[in-house]
Amino acid sequence: MIFNSLDYALFLPVVFLLYWYVFCGNAVRQNCFLLLASLFFYGYWDWRFLGLLLLAGAVSFFAGTAIDRSQSRGGNGRWALTLAVVVNLGILALFKYYDFFVQSFADIFLAGEADGILLNLILPVGVSFYLFQATGYCFDVYRKVVPAERDVLKYFTFICFFPQLLAGPIGRAKNLLPQFSLRRDFDVALATDGLRQILWGLFKKTVVADNCASAVNAVWSGDLAGTSASTLVAAAVLYSFQIYGDFSGYSDMAIGSAKLLGIRLGDNFLFPYFSRNVGEFWRRWHISLNTWFRDYLYIPMGGSRAGKWKTLRNTLTVFGLSGLWHGANWTYVFWGLYHGLLFVPAIFGAKRKKERSVVAEDSAFPSWRELCGMAATYFLVVVGWIFFRAPTIGDAFDYLGATLSPTLFSVPAVSGTPFIFVALMMAVEWFQRRGAHGLWRLPAFPRWARWIFYIAFIFFIIQNDGAQETFIYFKF
């Protein structure tokens, strides 16, 4: 069941009504209903993988309890943490990476002959997200950030909560578990903001991302050697907005759906294409994953406190593994390492002030310095997206090489429609860049103006003729 489907359009209102009008008595009833709804939501895709979800949750639940019990008796519980990490990451390695590494080994040493040793397992949707959430919980218990959860119902509601189950945001126990401890009371303002955020996410996904996808797929499936450089550049730009509209649109719909149920998830995207340097981009892009790697890998490895060369090692390790997390292909690893190398000037050069403020915070337009920083950052990010999209690393370099042609100054053979929607999206987000999503400031407008916005976006969504694409991050 995906957010931009008729099934979900029927599922969410039914859950909403039952949740607030039937199961609203106390936290136990609300959690019990949410857990059942979440299991139905996940099992609707393929009920066979419910066992995998529940196994990962059970292992982490008992590991957290064992860690807490061990620490209360003077131990450290490291064995239980290690067990949870091995089991959870072992599941991820089996389903996502076994065939990839076996095939890579066969390509090098067996002339590509891997018949009989590949498993050809179906990748369970959302597995990377819920396994990281369960593993993060165990780390937090081990570090005493949160106490071990003894309430089985509350814990599994936290792990299986359906808005974030398939593609995040990756929840943190410190933020989410307390919300499942108390009865939720209906908050009109929060629910209304949730509806606005769902609408904005639907627009970004179905109108922007899917229209960009049609143009991008046409270019990548064609003859790159016979395609003009201007068309290749246009397709690369459109892909950058396809993946942004696709994933941030999903996150908006997930966060908005949670708000309808009285639950606040963390931000996952904060207008990353308005970043003035690569460091700021990564503080604004896929925030829940990047902070997960920062807190549970980068900092334990020493972070930036162990000298410049070790900082570089830690940075490349984190970005390389982050790339591998995105998919079983060397292109993703290369993409991750590429972004890691972009941090070299910051590591070995003079210390630069981190951009923590909003771009053009006190102005309608950016300064020339900010504009140049955003342009340079966006260019570097787009180059990286070519490797992310390409089937092989060689194809990505061929693509980049083909852009260095006199045809760069020709008219691109790409429809202008996706660019119109991209421009509309970016204009709205520029105006709303101080908030959490593209429609967050609408309550400040008169009611008639708000409804013009709502009707316009609903019209775009309904009239959209782009092919419906599966969410890109479902395969991760």
Alpha-carbon distance of 335 to 324, in angstroms, equals: 9
Tell me the Cα Rg of the chain: 23
Hey, how many other C-beta atoms are within 10 angstroms of the C-beta on 339?
A: 24
Active site (annotated) includes residue 326: yes
Alpha-carbon distance of 318 to 301, in angstroms, equals: 10
Coil, strand or helix: which one is 41? helix
Alpha-carbon distance of 277 to 290, in angstroms, equals: 16
Among residues 286, 326, 339, 437, which one is catalytic?
326
Contact 84, 63 (CB under 8 A): yes
DSSP string, 308-374: HHHHHHHHHHHHHHHHHHH-SSHHHHHHHHHHHHTTHHHHHS-------SPTTTTSSS--HHHHHHH
Here the tokens at position 163 are: 């808005």
Report the b/e string of 183-194 with b at 16+ CB within 10 A.
ebeeeeebbebb
Here the tokens at position 164 are: 């974030």
For residue 59, give the amino acid letter. V
Alpha-carbon distance of 276 to 390, in angstroms, equals: 26
* Residues in contact with 407: Cβ distance below 8 Å, sequence separation at least 6, in sequence order: 228, 229, 230
The DSSP symbol for 25 reads: S
Give the burial class of 144: count Cβ atoms within 10 A of its Cβ; 0-12 exposed, 13-18 middle, 19 or more buried. exposed
Hey, how many other C-beta atoms are within 10 angstroms of the C-beta on 466?
A: 18
Here the tokens at position 227 are: 């395609």
Q: Which residue has the tokens 């509350």?
A: 154
Contact 330, 393 (CB under 8 A): yes
Here the tokens at position 256 are: 């908005």
| Residues acting as catalytic residues | 326
